[in-house]
Amino acid sequence: MYNTLKTVLLLGMMTSVFLLVGRMLGGDRGMAIALVFATGSNLISWWFSDRIVLAMHRAKEATPESAPRLTGIVTELARRADLPMPRVFVIPQPAPNAFATGRGPRHAAVAVTEGLLRTMDDEQISAVIAHELGHVARRDTLTMAVAASMAGALSMLAQMARFSMIFGDSRQRRENGLGMLVAMLVAPIAALLIQLAISRSREYAADAYSSKIMGSPQPLIRALRSLESGLQQIPSQTPNPAVAHMYIMSPNDIFGIFRTHPSTEDRIARLLAG
């Protein structure tokens, strides 16, 4: 219920930003157009955000025939966690990482990169999958996927405003210059705030869930250290910064208060503290 409420609040935040920019760009007419666009974006975000995120990553669904090792691990962990079997996807990226998405436990998907499968042993992979199942069990996945699609939409709004500012005719720039400038400045900030609204505490909770399912924190600790090392060695290929908060470890973290994830050291310390 808490995550559903948070999702509704995030959708309301995005609608407010679109209406503000629409009003500044085109008055009442612009506001009406923005409302239609925001409503459509909200519906798409709610129902199709998971598909959008998976498509952004060019993720391919795994089957027992195509990926017996991975699907076997997920099947066993879903059984231990007493969760419905999620769909399983493989992302064609060399950097090790993983995320979960979906509207809830009955519509969940878990995606891992080729790099993770190549560099980790079965116990580490299991710990990572258990972490992602923690997000599924807590129903974090809908909020995270909606936030990703919303941040992407707001980034697109900023790009459209920038294009209009540069290539629009002089009359349009005179009449709507302030609105364009606000869109260019406000939309990226709103996108970042939306990501930061997905509390970093969710990662601590999913880490604890993994430790419980695995029976020890050590597998996830080894996996987190391997993830950090791998992401330092291999350049990020994240399709859009808007999805960074979804991963078990952000591939393009920002230091300080703008970090979307806790530091690896903090996560390990929490795991060891029990």
* Residues labelled catalytic: 132
Encoding tokens for residue 54? 């998976």
One-letter amino acid of 47: W
What is the distance between the alpha carbons of residues 196 and 144, in angstroms, rounded to a whole number? 11
Which residue matches tokens 């208060």? 257
What is the distance between the alpha carbons of residues 29 and 123, in angstroms, rounded to a whole number? 57
Alpha-carbon torsion, ordered 189, 167, 24, 32, to 10 deg: -100
Encoding tokens for residue 3? 């995550």
- The answer to whether the beta carbons of residues 11 and 197 sit under 8 Å apart is no
Q: Strand pairing partners for 113?
A: 91
3-state SS, one letter per residue, for 55-106: HHCCCEECCCCCCHHHHHHHHHHHHHHCCCCCEEEEECCCCCCEEEEECCHH
Q: Tell me the backbone φ, ψ of residue 34, rounded to 5 degrees.
A: -65, -35
- The answer to whether the beta carbons of residues 111 and 89 sit under 8 Å apart is yes
